[in-house]
Amino acid sequence: MRNINLLQLALGVAPPWSVTRGDVDPAARRLDIHIDFKPGSRFACPACGAADCPTHDTDETTWRHLNFFQHQAYLHARVPRVRCTACGVKKIAVSWARPGSGFTLLFEALLMAMVTAMPVNAVARLVGEHDTRIWRVIHHYVDEARENTDAAEVKRVAFDETAARRGHDYITLCVDIDAARVLYATPGKGADTIAAFADDLAKHGGDPQAITEVCIDMSPAFIKGVAENLPEAAVTFDKFHAVKIVNDAVDKVRRAEQKTQSLLRGTRYIWLRNPSGLTDHQRETLAALPTRHLKTARAYQIRLAFQDLYQQPTIEAAEAYLKKWYFWATHSRIDPIIAAARTVKNHQHGILRWFESHIANGLLEGINSLVQAAKAKARGYRSTRNLQAIVYLIAGKLNFGLPV
Ligand SMILES: [Zn+2]
């Protein structure tokens, strides 16, 4: 190739390095660029920074670079190992790639941009590399960026679990509510996930004692984990989970009742919705039912009334409202509703906390669905670690410090 200066410009190679040769192989659609340093050059020691160390020997290295149009491009250079009087023989770091990587920084930047937009195996196919090499790049940047995460300002967090791989594997996500980012993703859904979060927080300049508000569902494991590891946090139980407990009770009532009331068959989704969310057809079906005589319809009214709790203007009004609701529900003579009302009562403090904190897991639900969509597109991940990396890529707001 004639235009070596152009290649040099495109690559941003600086003295003592220069492009010495460029070979195009049209049949193989391949461009090989050779870079070398000026003979007799001295380099700084990569360990202690001492200047002007002489070259001891060199190591022939190849890096995959960004395609030049339809050609796959490779960089070749002999990387010097210098002799430092203090540190001995050390391989220098080159400006176009990080140590140990078979890709240039620009190629890695391209990979990282692609993997946030499409599944890793699709990226692998597009660039013609094995996906394990791409995962290695992802893990490097995610781990490094996570390492540099600053959690000093974190005060309000929410936890939720999401399905990891097939079966009953889970990972727990912790979101920084104010920064709207996933701070931490860890395998499991037990109390120990919160302990692990508290450790991780402390490692990144945060303080578990400085966490003042936490939003969780009513899982005993999360409750225990928060009590033990985030001692200053006031707990808000996520309102969608609270409503779901009463909603599930309605569904239980409907399932039992439809064994004797065949009219209830096919009405499941009516009772799971709010009246305003019903289709015309569902509304007609509901109007035609002898609702006065159905336990399911009574349970449904109790559920709608529970939702209205969240419309109360103050925590005092809400507390009084909940007391009345509890009396009604526990006198309904409908067992699943009575059980749900008792669960609500036992978690009353955290349910009412919403009127002070106004925090909910809506953000987490959104992140969850993004993660599950990515997982479905990728047809799952080989390891939980890969899934964790994808969570951070999608929702971690990490800074990878790559060229753009
Ligand atoms: Zn040195």
pLDDT for 125-140, tens place per residue?
Answer: 999 999 999 999 999 9
Residue 103 CA to ligand 1 center (angstroms) comes to 26
pLDDT of residue 4 exceeding 90: no
How far apart (Å, rounded) are the C-alpha atoms in residues 253 and 332?
12
- As to burial, measured by CB atoms within 10 angstroms (0-12 exposed, 13-18 middle, 19+ buried), residue 249 is buried
Provide the pLDDT for residue 27: 92
Give the list of residues 6+ apart from residue 199 with CB closer than 8 angstroms, or none.
none
How far apart (Å, rounded) are the C-alpha atoms in residues 242 and 343?
9
pLDDT of residue 2 exceeding 60: no
Residue 20 CA to ligand 1 center (angstroms) comes to 29
Provide the pLDDT for residue 401: 82
Residue 15 CA to ligand 1 center (angstroms) comes to 21
For the whole model, what pTM was predicted? 0.86
Provide the pLDDT for residue 167: 64
Beta-strand relationship, 55-68 and 30-37: unpaired
pLDDT of residue 8 exceeding 80: no
Whether the Cβ atoms of residue 250 and residue 234 lie closer than 8 Å to each other = no
Average pLDDT over every residue of 105-117: 92
Provide the pLDDT for residue 172: 95
Residue 280 CA to ligand 1 center (angstroms) comes to 78
Residue 44 CA to ligand 1 center (angstroms) comes to 8
291-321 confidence digits (pLDDT tens): 888 999 999 999 999 999 999 999 999 999 9
Task: Tell me whether the omega of the peptide bond preceding residue 220 falls within 30 degrees of 0, making it cis.
Answer: no
Residue 56 CA to ligand 1 center (angstroms) comes to 13
Q: Quick one: what percent of the chain has pLDDT higher than 70?
A: 98
Residue with tokens 């003592």: 16
Average pLDDT, the chain: 92
Confidence of residue 11 (pLDDT cuts 50, 70, 90): confident
Torsion angle defined by CA atoms of residues 120, 126, 130 and 134, in that order, rounded to the nearest 10 degrees: -40
Provide the pLDDT for residue 314: 96
Query: Within 10 A of 255 (CB to CB), how many other CB atoms are there?
Result: 13
Which residues lie near ion ligand 1 (Cβ < 5 Å)?
A: 45, 47-48, 50, 84, 86-87
Provide the b/e sequence for 134-162 (b: ≥16 CB within 10 Å): bbebbebbbeebbeebebeebebbbbbbb
Residue 90 CA to ligand 1 center (angstroms) comes to 8
pLDDT of residue 14 exceeding 90: no
189-211 confidence digits (pLDDT tens): 999 999 999 999 999 999 999 99
What is the total residue count of the chain? 404
- Which residues, in sequence order, are bridge partners of residue 61? 77
Distance of CA 310 to the CA centre of its chain: 29
Residue 48 CA to ligand 1 center (angstroms) comes to 4
Residue 279 has phi, psi (to 5 degrees) of -75, 165
Residue 384 CA to ligand 1 center (angstroms) comes to 39
Residue 47 CA to ligand 1 center (angstroms) comes to 5
Residue 52 CA to ligand 1 center (angstroms) comes to 10
Average pLDDT over every residue of 8-19: 83
Provide the pLDDT for residue 404: 65
Residue 183 CA to ligand 1 center (angstroms) comes to 37
Which residue, 386, 394, 385, is CA-closest to 131? 386
Confidence of residue 3 (pLDDT cuts 50, 70, 90): low
Whether the Cβ atoms of residue 17 and residue 33 lie closer than 8 Å to each other = no
- Which residues, in sequence order, are bridge partners of residue 174? 159, 184
Residue 17 CA to ligand 1 center (angstroms) comes to 21
DSSP three-state, residue 61: strand
How far apart (Å, rounded) are the C-alpha atoms in residues 304 and 310?
11
Residue 121 CA to ligand 1 center (angstroms) comes to 41
Average pLDDT over every residue of 6-34: 87
How far apart (Å, rounded) are the C-alpha atoms in residues 298 and 250?
9
Residue 86 CA to ligand 1 center (angstroms) comes to 5
Residue 82 CA to ligand 1 center (angstroms) comes to 9
Residue 95 CA to ligand 1 center (angstroms) comes to 18
215-259 confidence digits (pLDDT tens): 999 999 999 999 999 999 999 999 999 999 999 999 999 999 999
Residue 122 CA to ligand 1 center (angstroms) comes to 43
Provide the pLDDT for residue 353: 97
Give the list of residues 6+ apart from residue 162 with CB closer than 8 angstroms, or none.
170, 171, 172, 173, 368, 371, 372
Residue 46 CA to ligand 1 center (angstroms) comes to 7
pLDDT of residue 382 exceeding 90: no
Whether the Cβ atoms of residue 134 and residue 110 lie closer than 8 Å to each other = no
Confidence of residue 164 (pLDDT cuts 50, 70, 90): confident
Which residue, 360, 368, 356, 327, is CA-closest to 344? 327
DSSP state of 43: B
